[in-house]
Structure 1
Amino acid sequence: MPGSLTVSVGVPGGAVELPLTLPTDGLAAWAEETARDRLGPEGEPRTVADLANALREATLDARRRGPVTALSFCPHPELGETARIEVSLIAPDAERPELTVKALADFLATPTERSMHPATVDYGDLPIGPAVRVRHQYVGERPATRYAGDDEGVDAAVEPDDGDPGEGVIVQTVAYAALPPGSRKAVLLFASWQALALDERLSELVDRLATTLRLEPADG
């Protein structure tokens, strides 16, 4: 398999693909145009500005991790981002010179000082290759925002039950790490959200997206 690879994933309805390679000086204009397009001509100026800011911040945040693809899931754009979805390639390194599904599971399930519970680990197979699914819940530092349902139609806005707001918000993550046959690199699908009331539906969405992962030689 060629060394230069690209990974793709299905894009759910309501998701915005974040422009990871767009020059930073063009990001604000992209975010405003995208927000106006998503909200339509009846979108209130404040709502457009809020969504544009959310998309801009989501892009800058995703760039720090260097994913191949990043999606801001906004099925109800007037309420902002419901979940973040990122796809990355993981190469062997000095700590993990040979990637295995077990090594990936151990890495993803390692608890931190912010972990709320031990991670849940499940092994299985995806069309792209043998994989592990890891669910993790931790206390994050992002401020609470409003949330809406997924594209199947949950219409209530909710605040995450985060206890003392001064201590952060509860963040749920679901990650899939897979090893495509013949590749030394692993594929990571990582999703996070604060919309705990929608946890089951968002988890099911990530499960569906995992089955769409594809690894192919990069063009050129």
Structure 2
Amino acid sequence: MAARGDFTITMDRPEIAIRLPVNEDGDLTGWAESTSRARQGFDAEEEDVARFAAEILAAAADSASRDVAMAYLLPDDVLPVEMARIELVDVNPDEEIPEVTLEWLERIYSDPGLELTAPVAVWRGVLPAGPAVRVIRQVIGDVDEFGDGKLLHSVVYAVRPPRTDFAVVLSVTWSAVLLGEELLELSDALAQTLQVLPAR
């Protein structure tokens, strides 16, 4: 759950997902270490605990840099590594974009900004939270000095809740190619649980 002005954004989460403290200040090292150890078991090697703790911290800082409302790291079932990232952000009107429309959201999220490896797939429909557009992209990212990159998948659900002037955007990104269909199904299921409710 995240409070945004006069509204509260809620969404179910996968049981194994780690909520990232994107809106918290202070030293998060202790949180990352305890989370890493709890995930791997208390007999895990110190080196493995430290490595995953560093990955969790880096993920939290990365998500926080985008001013997200909520973020989750989805770990691998077996290995202590990030399998996917789940983020929720609200998009508000401003002087440059006085009205946040589905057409504008589709255009923004369909622009890959990186090298596409497949055509962008767009779906328009209605989710429980309101009218929505879903955009699926596959791009080459994290390109190194030799021109080698990583295949990144992302699915974005941009929703315009009724009786609001903003949009809520759920994004799920991953590089686990073999789990693409499974993660897409998970993303669709999460989008169905998204709610925007008046704050109490």
Same fold (TM over 0.5): yes
Name the counterpart of 2:60. 59
Structure 1 CA distance for aligned equivalents of residues 11 and 73 of structure 2: 13
Aligned pair count reads: 197
Task: Give the equivalent residue in structure 2 for 1:168.
Answer: 149
- Determine the C-alpha separation between the residues in 2 that align with 1:173 and 1:131: 16
Residues 22 and 111 of structure 1, relative CA distance in 2, 3 Å threshold = closer
- Match for residue 173 of structure 2 among 157, 176, 192: 192
Partner of 1:22: 24
Query: Where does residue 124 of structure 1 map in the other structure?
Result: 125
Which residue of structure 2 aligns with residue 9 of structure 1? 11
Alpha-carbon distance in 2 for matches of 1:113, 1:33: 36
**What residue identity is the alignment partner of 1:28?**
T
2:16 paired with 1:35: no
How far the C-alpha of 1:142 sits from its partner, in A, is 7.5
Residues in 2 aligned to 1:139 and 1:75: alpha-carbon distance in whole angstroms = 21
Q: In the alignment, is residue 133 of structure 1 matched against residue 125 of structure 2?
A: no
Query: In structure 2, what residue type is equivalent to 1:17?
Result: R
1:93 aligns to what? 94
Secondary structure of the 1:184 match is: coil
Q: How much has 1:166 moved relative to structure 2?
A: 4.6
Residue identity matched to 1:198: L
More deviation, 196-205/88-97: 88-97
1:215 aligns to 2:192 (yes or no): no
Quick one: distance in 1 between partners of 2:88 and 2:36? 23
Change (3 A) 1:119 1:94: farther
SS in 2 for 1:216: strand
Match of 1:155 in 2: none
8 A Cα contact 1:70 1:86, kept in partner: yes
User: Greater CA deviation, 76-85 or 190-199?
Assistant: 76-85
CA contact (8 A) 1:51 1:78 kept: no
- Write the distance in 1 (CA, Å) between the matches of 2:5 and 2:185: 32
Change (3 A) 1:165 1:211: farther
Give how far 1:21 is off.
Answer: 2.3
Partner residue, 1:203 = 184
Q: List alignment gaps of at least 5 residues for structure 2.
A: none
User: Secondary structure in 2 aligned to 1:78?
Assistant: coil
In the TM superposition, what whole-angstrom CA distance separates every residue of 1:124-160 from its partner, at most 9, and x where no partner exists?
11000010110011111178xxxxxxxxxxxxxxxxx
8 A contact 1:51–1:77 mirrored in 2 = no
User: RMSD over aligned Cα, in angstroms?
Assistant: 2.0
Give, in whole Å, the separation in 2 of the partners of 1:178 and 1:172: 20
How much identity, in percent, do the aligned residues show?
37
**1:114 corresponds to which residue?**
115
C-alpha offsets along residues 102-122 of structure 1, whole Å, 9 cap, x if unaligned? 221111102424333331100
Q: Structure 2: which amino acid aligns with 1:174?
A: V
- Separation of aligned partners in 2, 1:36 and 1:142: 31
- Give the Cα separation in 2 of the matches to 1:33 and 1:142: 32
Q: How far apart, in 2, do the equivalents of 1:171 and 1:104 lie?
A: 20
